[in-house]
């Protein structure tokens, strides 16, 4: 618990969590925004983050890790220096020349991969990232994120036959920040109310995951 608190305070210090008004990828407007892209400028904190992921990953069985661009790429790179696991990453832009790959990295058909990302909101982007990997013959059943915003993404993934393993939840972070008087009571209540009222109920994502 002490290491988790230290990590969350380090992330707060470098501006990885922001409060205000932000439009998320899902289209909804949120009073809180988590930005782990800043980690590339803070190697000491990135090291803390990598070790935090290890506490979850060491309990899972897999052959390699798969990162979602762009935020998870430096994170998975750091993790691999600790656990020695090979990894690959999906592409946001598929090249229309050369190999025209949808992801980069070597693998063998039938290998088990664990998907690694920074956080989860609705879970739809995780399904989109997994599809080209499973289509290529990789087996993916587990997804590890640093933060779960607890807006229904975990339940959605479960419906798709996937297991979510968050290192931390956004509520844990908020509870620590209010405890340490880093945010106001008003901000705390506003974010909690938002998380409660913006949970997804039913996803329209029709992408299926191969067994």
Binning the chain into helix, strand and coil, the percentages to the nearest 5 are: 40, 25, 35
Q: Output the pLDDT for position 119.
A: 95
The helix (H) or strand (E) run that includes residue 11 is helix 2-13
Q: What is the DSSP string of 145-167?
A: EEEE--SSHHHHHHHTT-EEEEE
Omega within 30 of 0 (cis) for the link into 169: no
- The verdict on pTM exceeding 0.85 is yes
Q: Output the pLDDT for position 202.
A: 47
Q: Output the pLDDT for position 99.
A: 53
- CATH 3.40.50.300 assigned to domain 2-197? The reply is no
Q: What is the dihedral of CA 16, 190, 171, 207, to 10 degrees?
A: -80
Question: Can you say whether residue 76 is alpha, beta or left, with left for phi > 0 and alpha for psi between -120 and 50 degrees?
Answer: alpha
Each residue's pLDDT expressed in tens, for the chain with a length of 211 residues: 789 999 999 999 999 999 999 987 767 889 999 999 999 999 999 999 999 999 999 999 999 999 999 999 999 999 999 999 999 999 876 655 555 678 899 999 999 999 999 999 889 989 999 999 999 999 999 999 999 999 899 999 999 999 999 999 999 999 999 999 999 999 999 999 999 898 876 445 444 555 4
Q: What is the dihedral of CA 110, 124, 132, 209, to 10 degrees?
A: 40
Question: What is the SS3 assignment for 118?
Answer: strand
Locate the domains of the chain by residue range: 2-197
Nearest to 54 by CA among 43, 65, 44, 38: 65
Per-residue CA distances from 120 to 45, 92, 116, 143, 200 (Å) = 20, 17, 10, 10, 12
């Amino acid at each position: 618990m002490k290491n988790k608190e230290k990590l969350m305070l380090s992330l707060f210090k470098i501006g990885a969590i922001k409060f205000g008004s932000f439009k998320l990828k899902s289209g909804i407007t949120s009073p809180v925004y988590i930005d782990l892209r800043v980690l590339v400028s803070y190697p000491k904190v990135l090291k803390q983050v990598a070790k935090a992921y290890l506490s979850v990953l060491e309990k899972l069985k897999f052959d390699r890790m798969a990162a979602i661009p762009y935020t998870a790429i430096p994170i998975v790179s750091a993790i691999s220096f600790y656990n020695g696991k090979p990894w690959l990453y999906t592409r946001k832009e598929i090249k229309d020349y050369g190999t025209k790959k949808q992801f980069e990295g070597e693998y063998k058909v039938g290998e088990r991969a664990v998907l690694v990302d920074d956080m989860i909101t609705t879970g739809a982007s995780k399904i989109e990232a997994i599809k080209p990997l499973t289509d290529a013959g990789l087996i993916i059943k587990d997804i590890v994120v640093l933060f779960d915003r607890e807006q229904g993404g975990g339940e959605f993934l479960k419906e798709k036959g996937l297991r979510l393993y968050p290192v931390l939840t956004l509520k844990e972070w908020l509870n620590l920040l209010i405890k340490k008087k880093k945010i106001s009571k008003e901000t705390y209540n506003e974010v909690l109310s938002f998380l409660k009222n913006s949970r997804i109920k039913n996803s329209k994502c029709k992408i299926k995951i191969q067994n």
